[in-house]
Structure formats: structure tokens, C-alpha cells
Chain A
């Protein structure tokens, strides 16, 4: 039935908004009914804006090393002075380990870089990793899950054993192996994380395809001689869209956590600002200068909470059957 026909039929009973208006209505209903989901959405948007406008918001360059006047500066220090304080002869020294102040809102790290700027830029990596890995996991999960759930039989059997093995493999160990295969760039990290996520997304898609492909309209389509590909694209895909969206959104938080963990362990992407790496850098001086760890770790926790809230709420709204397990 075309959209126009549907609208015409409905008109007599109740005017149902279509298109953008309908989306807007659903969206606002979501915000009102799912307070936590709304909070999650707010947090996610907050960080997305942070990442997009990082150059404007960050105030300083992430790699800029700040210095300050040396309070102990002495012209022509004696050898004894130098032995006590090797920096005594320099008028300016690196402004390391500053506590939060007007100039450095979150303080500075061990080599005098602005923590606030680094926290702002760190959101970029986390978001790229979260969305990228989830996209890859869902894409391959969709292919494997639809094929497995639609054809069943031997294909399903073999594919699912493979998924079993990937799932039994401790995720972090698999990740540690995968990230070392290629150079530790952002792209390769995203790919490795995506692969780790494939089993879960395959399972979710497959179970939905199972129930969808045993519906009457799929049997009807088959009876009219529709090809497998056509059934998959025209009849199954549109009907599992909500599960795909849920799978996508629910994994993001986990990928962000994984990236932070491997960066913390020192095998994350190189040459980028990563929150996990910052927590690691902050550990050395955590007793006296906890700021680096506190803000970077707080960023991870808040962002992941946001995506978890959002994912949970989306799941409840879009597919209550999946929920609560």
C-alpha cells in the first residue's frame, strides 16, 4: 500500500501525521516518556558538539607546552645551586602539574599541556571509535545475521559455530591480538573493535530474522515467486530496522570503553588524544595531581552513561520484547 493510500484510508478515522511531523511527534513522545533516554540523548549531543567544535572550545592547542616564571630563578647560579635544582638557571620553566585555575580550567599535565584542551579533543576519538566500530559491527552482523536467519540449515549451523567461537574468545584478548596485527592507527582500532562486536550483533539480527521470516507475508512473497534477495531486501530488512537501530546504539558505549581500556594498556591508537591514555598518564602522579585522571576518566564514564541510557530507552520504545534480559 502506498503512503498516499494509507493516508486516505486513515483520514476518515484519525488524521495521522506523516513524514517529518510524525517523526517530530514520536520524538517528543520519546523525550517525555523516557526521561533517562532524553538525558542520554542530551549527553550524547553535548559530547558531539564538543567534538565538532573542539578547535573553538579548546582554547589552546593540545600539544602546546606551557611555561611559567621560575620562582627560584637565579642569574649566574653556583654549581651548588644547580646541584640542588637543575632548573634554577632558567628564567622560565615548564608549567607542569598545575591545579585547575583561570588560565588552565582543568590544570596541566606532567609536561605542561592544558588538560581541558586535551579532554575536549579526547571526545573526538571516543565518538569516532564508538560510532565507527558500531557501524562496522552492525554492517557485518546484518549480513551474517540475515543470511544465517533466512537460510537456516547448514549455513546457519556453520556461521553460528563461528560466532560461538568469537563469543567464547574473551573480548579483550581478541582485541589485544587484533590491534597488534596492523599499525595502531585510529582506523585499524575501529576495525578491530568492529570485528569484536560482530558476534553480538549477528545474534541479535539473526533471532529477529527468525521470527520475521516465519511470518505470513514472507511466505506470501515466497509463494509469488520472489527471489531470496528480493525477500531479504524488501520484506525482511524493513522489518528488522528497529532491531538494527537498537543493536547500533546499544553497542556504542561498550566500544568507547574498550578503546579507553586498550589505550590505558598502551596498545591504543597512536598520535591522538585518548581519554584512556590520559588516565594512564595521570596514574604516575595520582596522589598529588589527580586532575588528569579525574577529568579524562569522568569524560569516558559520562559519555558511556549517556549512550547506555539512550540505547536502553531506544530498546524499550522500539522493541519491548528484546528488553530487560
Chain B
């Protein structure tokens, strides 16, 4: 086939559907552009959703005060102060322009910048997320291996049963039950003073995080464990495993050194996808355990119709999710040269 005539401008071809081999740099650039597009759409979506929600901060503030002073003038003044009197199109344009300059505005409630709210809340959520992933992975890997090695024997059934149960049980329920067990048997005192970070007061912080991290971790285990199990089953049937066994290697090193390393790769992808689920768990767990992280902040800011804060938090969470997925995909190609990025 001869060269096609000079192509018309087709962003579709340029950004989204490059065929043939792609270099890693090209791939990353393309994905970053896509992610920016997604972030823009999410920003628009959250902007629109917030404006559609009945009531706004100015009204909520006065309705909350409820001292009989809710005059239309007072609300109008408050709206003017918050910039809510401008037409929606102007608000949207300002929001977009400021976001591009990485200015997320000030929270309606605290009057502090969204960035400083984030700076306070983010470490808590990051700690909890890290611990949740740690528990999730720490449980999923041994369970997945045991389950695969004992395929269709009773440990497999029991472990899989528990994993599916953990997936089905609501995280707030497991957390509640855990609290009641800890209290009933007086396992340890949840006498946390203040809101310690792991690096300030490791013991205190761990006491505080213990139940939420296990509740959240267990909920995220099931998917990882199932993928690891099926990957292990597949890998264990491969020729090089037979070779390893034929060489006389003991079963332990066959499983741990030969099979596991290859089976772990796809698990990475699931871990990436789990981040989105963890965000959901965190809203619930931070709310339950009074952890002043992103999840709780997001929940209250939606409630209070704190537009700039909600917008900023949603954008940040989405950014973390899409970036994690991108990082996972790139890492995946790096760890497994057989995978061609496309």
C-alpha cells in the first residue's frame, strides 16, 4: 500500500489509537494526555454535580445557625462574599483557569486554602491507605499461594470461602464487630490521645489504625487473592516449573522462587485497581474512627456544599487513582518485557 496522502488532523489517531509498536516514552505521554482529559472531565462533572445539589454553603450556613436571622439579604451578602453570585459560566471559567494554575481556591468553611487543608489531611489518609495495602497484600499473598498449592483440597475451599466472605461483608460492619470484640474481651485499650501520626507516636497511631487497617485490608484482599491463585495455578503448569521439579528442587523453592515471582505480576494490576476501592473504604473508616483524613474531609465538605474543597479533594483523589494505574501499567511493562504497551 502506498503512502496515504497527507492526513487531515486526526487527534483520535494521534492520541488515542496509535497502532504498531510504541516506545515507553510515547506511551507515557499518550497516557498522561488521556489522564489530563479524564481529570478535566471529572472536574467538570464534580463542578456540575455540586451546582445541581440543592442548597449552597451560604444558605446552609444560615439555615444551620437557625436563629431567625435568615433574611434574603444576609444570604445574598454571603453569596457575594463566596463568589456564588456570579453566573455559573463565570464560576466555571474561573475554576478551570485557577485549576490550571494549580490554585484550588479557599475552603468556604475554614477560609484556608484547599492546599493547606490537603496538607493536613493527606498524611492521615496516606498512612491508613499504606497500612490497608500492607494488610491486604500481607494476607492475600500467603493465602493465594496456599490456596493454589492445595487446589481443590480443604485449605483451598476454606481460604477461598473466607476471601469471598471478606469481599461481601461491608467494611463498616467488620470494623464494628472488631470494635465490639476488642471492647468485650478488653484486648487493648483504645486510649489514643490526640491524632498521632505513625512517625510521632507509632504505638498510639497503630492502636488507632489497627481496626480500620484490618477491616479495610481484608475487604481489599479477596480480589488480589483470587487473581494470585489463578495466576499461580496457571504458572505451576508451565514447563519451567516441571524442569525445576525435575532438577530435584524442593517444592518450597519451586513455589516461592520460580512460580510466585511470575505469578505476582498480574497482581500488580489488581493492586492498582484496588486503590479506587480503598478510597471508598477510607471515607467510611475515617468517618467511623475520627481520622481527619481526605475521606472524612470529603464527606463533610460535600455535606456543607463547600464547593472549592470538594472540587479540590475529588480532583486530587482522581489524580492519585489515574496516576497509580499509569504507574502500575508502566511498571508492568518494565517488569515483564514480554508485555508490549499498546
Residue of A nearest to B234 (CB): A324
Contact with A along B122-165 (1 / 0, CB 8 A): 00000000000000000000000000000000000000000011
CA distance A170 to B313 in the complex (A): 11
Bound Cα distance A109, B68 (Å)? 36
Docked-complex contact B41 and A161, CB < 8 angstroms: yes
Q: Is B32 an interface residue (CB 8 A)?
A: no
Report the nearest A residue to B11, measured CB to CB.
Answer: A157
B179 touches A297 (CB 8 A): no
B window 161-218: CB within 8 A of A:
164-165, 167-173, 176-177, 179-180, 183-184
Interface assignment of B330: CB less than 8 Å from any CB of chain A = no
The stretch of B19-27, B255-263, B315-323 in contact with A is B315-323
B170 close to A161 (CB less than 8 A): no
A154 contacts which chain B residues (CB < 8 A)? 12
User: Across the interface, which residues of A come within 8 angstroms of B276, CB to CB?
Assistant: 168, 170-171
Stretch at the interface among B71-79, B88-96, B104-112, B277-285: B277-285
Q: Which residues of B contact A282 (CB under 8 A)?
A: 176
- Interface size (B, Cβ < 8 Å)? 48
Contact (Cβ within 8 A) A297 B169:
yes
Q: Per-residue CB proximity of B299-325 to A under 8 Å, as 1/0?
A: 100100000000000100110011000
Q: Decide: A297 and B180 in contact? CB cutoff 8 A.
A: no
A265 with B284, Cβ < 8 A, contacts A157-B12, A279-B176, A300-B170 known: yes
The answer to whether A301 touches B173 (Cβ under 8 A) is: yes
Give the complex CA separation of A293 and B16 in angstroms.
49
Decide if A297 touches B167 in the complex (CB within 8 Å).
Answer: no
A156-189 vs B, CB cutoff 8 Å, 1 = contact: the mask equals: 0100011011101111111011101100000000
Contact A169/B314 with A180-B53, A265-B287, A293-B180 known, Cβ cut-off 8 Å: yes
CB distance from A176 to the nearest CB of B (A): 5
Secondary structure at the B interface, as helix, strand, loop or mixed, is helix
Name A's interface SS. helix
Stretch at the interface among A136-144, A243-251, A303-311: A303-311
Taken residue by residue from 55 to 75, chain B's Cβ proximity to chain A (1 for < 8 Å, 0 otherwise) reads as 000000000000000000000
B46 touches A177 (CB 8 A): yes
Interface core residue of A178, A260, A283, A302 (most chain B CB under 10 Å): A283
Q: Which residue of B lies closest to A36 (CB)?
A: B164
- B42, CB-defined interface residue at 8 Å: yes
Least Cβ–Cβ distance between B299 and chain A, in angstroms: 7
Report if B49 contacts A (CB, 8 A): yes
Do the beta carbons of A181 and B54 come within 8 Å of each other?
Answer: yes
Contacts of B298 in A (CB 8 A): 173
The reply to whether A297 and B177 contact each other, CB–CB distance below 8 Å, is yes
**Apart from the given pairs A253-B168, A286-B183, A325-B227, 6 other A-B contacts in the complex at a CB distance below 8 Å:** A173-B302, A180-B53, A286-B180, A287-B183, A300-B169, A308-B168
**Interface CB pairs A-B, < 8 A, 21:** A153-B12, A157-B12, A161-B37, A164-B37, A164-B38, A168-B38, A170-B314, A176-B302, A177-B46, A180-B54, A260-B170, A261-B172, A264-B172, A276-B170, A283-B176, A293-B176, A293-B180, A294-B177, A300-B169, A305-B164, A324-B227
User: Which residue numbers of B lie inside 8 Å of A, CB to CB?
Assistant: 12, 16, 34, 37-39, 41-42, 45-46, 49-50, 52-54, 164-165, 167-173, 176-177, 179-180, 183-184, 226-227, 230, 276, 279-280, 283-284, 287-288, 298-299, 302, 314, 317-318, 321-322
